Structure 1
């Protein structure tokens, strides 16, 4: 290549760059500065021996022209960032969760049953670098969100836009969404010192006891936040990226949650649409929309419903009858949001524990916790109803609830116990993957959440299913108990909760479920027999008194460990194998 050719290409790039809007140029410069900062940090880490190999791209010397040193293409407005990650610093999360590796953006042959969850562990001065960019409004006002959008500063110093949809010169989000986001922004930042949130690093995920560590946290009603897992994330979401990397078709029909429709009718915020319609709307400042239930594939060893319930009971109870697909496809999902969408405080439906990983963009995630855990079910339900209607109950909400906020950037993920009350705000367009699961140590949380859904599901959760897969999965977990490894701990309150949900299943059908009647099942008789035997072993003679045992005292404690040897002996009848 001749010198004149190089100069000509450089001139074309400079001309193209100067033709961009000022906001876009600022955004590109910011990304260039961030990339250079990471490259310098990796060089320092290499010199200090913090990494084995700083596999950085070749450098042609220091740039004297900031604008011309930007990684961009003339033909495309979408740019890959974080592309300089050394492969030597990736570790596997195999056994905890199941997601796609970021080593290649090539097409997948199909979901694997248990691929490794690979991540890059950044050195100390590089970890969580995405949190250094505090102003999250740069490049989106007037482009992704309305030009009159206000801003708010969060307790960690981050600045975000406020939800804005202008109609006749008035922001229709002002009295609802804006107030909720300002409330969220006023809440304290969650740190490593938190007593109610467990903070881990990507390096922690390599510990031999990591499954037990997370399981115990969920048992004790503590969400888990994991940081330091850097991934390649696009600066803008495209249908091509979603299709190629996650298998989400552009023309997939979806139910879109629309902020404007929610203002008009909070109980019915849905509109029919497709993935391409939502993605195209990300550049429409007059819209704020999201999709909450995109199909995806995802969790593993923490999921006792699939690990024990469905995988290890076909010998005792073969699957002859038709099984509703929600037993499988509803376990894994993805979230796609336009900038400015706020999810009000809620818990997830069906009493599931949940896992969410940020693939692109970022979220402010808010964990709520009642200040007093001693109240009964009625007190808990009343407190929940006040929280979900915060604008009309501001003073009472602050008296009843504590809260902590975490920022989740690309690669960060959170695991929540069943019934965890949480809110979320997406200040920039974002895509996240997630999963839902049941765990034997957390069944007491599942029971309380499903009990609340029975009473007021339409107010307390943001996404329900026409069919609840919970019962069939819990029946199979119960059938697996006589054969489950003694290494798996069982707890009195938690196991009683499982038994109650199996025996008195009609009491746990969500209030807004389309199918209210319990359908016949091949698992019903055996599961109920095992649960009644467990209840008897725990010294409860009258099944009807289980509720009294569970509903008194604190609701968030799993109870004393159950003697597995004695329980195994008591359930010997159910351990006999058919020859």
Structure 2
């Protein structure tokens, strides 16, 4: 019996059977296995860079040899040319003999069929011959199957414009190796069947984009637009042809900003929570709200605030979509068993200076804020009626009271004035008993994790410390906010380079929302200025100017000239949204059109330490006007994070971020707030952290082991001086060597275990 040779028809049939088997499997399990393979390959590349480089060179050489073969000869003596990279593009532009392709319609607009052909946008069959033939009467397919599918990673995400937009320096293109071509069986003699066209998956999410410059902002938008369009087309084709599965999405699972339902935000506000003469404004999302209003002697003393809110809502000031700073993640796409991937993506996006929002990422309470019991019990804040807090009186702020605008109050007193139209203000940083970030997002808080880890007996033995946790470490990371209707929070940065996250509490269907806006400069050259000059520019934006007695000839109560240099992007936050995983240094302003309760927290994250360092350096010069809160004890948190860092072996970090982390521990005096001086106390917590920081610089960042303390700092400055301040740097995997070095230092330098043994002998 002679074994029959497999033909292209056999291979096509096998692929169909494989697709049918894949369709019957659990999509979450498939994606989990793919993700495990991607992570395993990523770790292999980091561990074996030389071997990966050698394999890549070998593959490139094989490709070059294949290209040098100008033609191949089949059994019928027909000669066919190998497909040219420019062939499909040229045919798409000019058309090709024997095809009915409309040259005005891009190739990506055609739908793939189950047989490998295409349908036009009006669902007409497409006759397409993508391969030019040099000799012979009929075109033939390539002699071998070619399937190139690269695995995408976060390096293909362009750098966003968080605070200072960078110009687009290149366009986003796809390499020919990212094209999926299904070979066509050679037609029988006399058959007029045309060869199959390549499926238009080249730009879809199953074939990720090629690597691009980290500052390629325009490429990000182009890629996102192509992905959303091609995913829609592929989904439509799979409905018509059930044999073709939907192409797998690539992480991070981003979605467009959600479409907001119509909501009445005026009926229970005008005449009840704000004065009946309050004006209204329509927002770009379609919502209509009141403007900030406080009537004194027939005059709205909050008219300057109202002008700022008009500026926010003016579409002429909006950030163009190609420079968007915000990424919306689809929580459902990650599945219930893949929370680690969700947290990992938020970390990486924050480290690349994106703000991350997860619509519907947490459960809402299904009840509006109406009474003290709602705050205490329904929202689980458990605050006491008589708790003394600081009230920010916006009327006194507008009138520039000499005694200041902060007055004492209680939560109950605040709530009793919600429906008092003569009162408007807010309470910030309410201490609450609940966790600032709900599960699983609490895994983002590396500073809280470090505090908890250092409380364990084993960690204390390792570093030889009996730590006393300061009260601020327990209170500052978690807070709640209470706002009256129509309150405006002026542009500012949060203090000490913390990341921020939180949620609006209440009923998602009848929300008491917030308009959370991100401000950035239009001029990209600002990013190249020195820290003190950047600080002055930001300070000019954040200074609250409000002089109703000296309005100018144009009828304005506020000099908005400096704001004309900026643009704004608005996030509409409703209950159920886990909002603004906001990286350090983001300049933001907030408007609350209805009485509102929110909760959240500040935290440090290893992946965004380079942004924390940049922000703290800016606030070293102008913290009085840039921030709106007193600085917490950031140095203690950073020191505990440094002592906990060696336990993270096996995790992936980035060099510039960790270099900034080390520098903040070693030279804390460069990051104290304006007008403050921090003396070296010489406590053991700081000393231990500095010793570990030097080990990290030597073992993870390539600093010479012979470098002095000053030499280590100079090497860290060189690392931070390369690239844009938003660039986290090259990735690396933390190995067990660092933990072993710290244990050795504990024995031979700190004498921790020797002292312990002496105590045991006595």
Q: Which residue in the other structure is 2:292 paired with?
A: 163
In structure 2, the partner of 1:293 is 429
8 Å CA contact 2:621, 2:674 repeated in 1: yes
Report the CA distance between 1:516 and its aligned residue.
Answer: 4.4
The equivalent of 1:52 in structure 2 is none
String of CA shifts for 1:336-388, please: whole Å, max 9, x gaps: 11101111111111211111101032100102234424444234213312321
Structure-2 separation of matches of 1:560 and 1:309: 28
Q: CA, structure 1 residues 240+318, in 2 after alignment: closer, same or farther (shift >3 Å)? A: farther
Instruction: Please give the alpha-carbon distance, in whole angstroms, between the structure 1 residues aligned to 2:588 and 2:325.
Output: 13
| Aligned match of 1:283 | 419
TM-score for both structures, normalised by structure 1 = 0.71
Q: Is the 8 A contact 1:491 1:558 kept in 2?
A: yes
1:409: Cα distance to partner? 1.0
1:257 aligns with 2:257: no
Deviation at 1:170?
1.1
Matches within 5 A, 1:66-145: 131-145=260-274
In the alignment, structure 1 residue 561 sits paired with structure 2 residue 731: yes
Residue 577 of structure 2 is aligned to residue 412 of structure 1: yes
Aligned length: 444
Which deviations, in whole Å up to 9, do the C-alpha atoms of 1:98-145 show, x marking residues without a partner?
xxxxxxxxxxxxxxxxxxxxxxxxxxxxx979x323442222111101
Q: Return the alpha-carbon distance in structure 1 between the equivalents of residues 332 and 443 of structure 2.
A: 18
> Cα gap change, 1:142/1:194 in structure 2, threshold over 3 Å: closer, same or farther?
same
Report how far residue 214 of structure 1 moved: 0.3
CA shift at 1:519, angstroms? 4.5
The match for 2:309 is 181
Determine if contact 2:460/2:467 at 8 Å carries over to the other structure.
Answer: no
- The aligned counterpart of 1:484 is 648
User: Is contact 2:535–2:619 with CA below 8 Å preserved after alignment?
Assistant: no
SS in 1 for 2:643: helix
Per-residue Cα deviation, 1:163-206 (whole angstroms, up to 9, x for no partner): 1111111111113x112111111157789987421102442464
Deviation by residue 1:9-39 (Cα, 9 ceiling, x = unmatched): xxxxxxxxxxxxxxxxxxxxxxxxxxxxxxx
Q: Which entry has the higher C-alpha Rg, 1 or 2?
A: 2
Distance in 2, Cα, partners of 1:252 & 1:185? 36
Equivalent residue for 2:351? Answer: 219
Specify which of 674, 683, 688 is matched with residue 521 of structure 1: 683
What is the RMSD of the two structures over their aligned residues, measured on CA atoms? Answer: 2.8
Report the TM-score, using the length of structure 2 for normalisation. Answer: 0.55
Equivalent-residue separation in structure 2 for 1:330 and 1:530 (angstroms):
26
Contact 1:357 1:432 in 2 (8 A): yes
CA change 1:454–1:264 in 2 (3 A) is farther
The verdict on how the C-alpha distance between 1:512 and 1:291 changes in structure 2, with shifts beyond 3 A counting, is farther
Structure 2 residue ranges without an equivalent (≥5): 1-256, 507-511, 546-557, 748-752, 754-762
Alignment pair present for 1:306 and 2:448: yes
Q: Distance in 1 between matches of 2:743 and 2:730?
A: 24
Bigger shift: 345-354 or 313-322? 313-322
Partners of 1:483 and 1:575 within 8 A in 2: no
CA distance in structure 2 between the aligned counterparts of 1:309 and 1:496, rounded to whole angstroms? 21
Matched, 1:474 2:644: no
Instruction: Tell me if structure 2 keeps the 8 A contact 1:290–1:336.
Output: yes
Q: Give the Å deviation of 1:511.
A: 2.4
1:4 aligns to what? none
Using the alignment, how far apart are the partners of 1:327 and 1:411 within structure 2? 27
Aligned position for 2:364: 231
Question: Which runs of 5 or more residues in structure 1 are unaligned?
Answer: 1-126
* CA distance 1:370–1:555, change in 2 (3 Å): farther
C-alpha contact 1:321 1:521 (8 A) present in aligned 2: no
What's the counterpart of residue 374 of structure 2? Answer: 241
1:308 Cα deviation after fit: 3.3
Identify which range, 161-170 or 477-486, moves more after superposition: 477-486
User: Could you give the per-residue CA deviations for residues 312-333 of structure 1, whole angstroms, max 9, x where no partner exists?
Assistant: 5434235525432111211111
SS of 1:555's partner is: coil
Q: Quick check: 1:269 aligned with 2:269? A: no
Contact 2:516 2:590 in 1 (8 A): yes
Indicate the residue corresponding to 1:494 in structure 2: 657
Determine the C-alpha separation between the residues in 2 that align with 1:170 and 1:309: 51
> In structure 1, what is the Cα distance between the partners aligned to 2:674 and 2:643?
27
d(CA) in 1 for partners of 2:467, 2:739 = 26
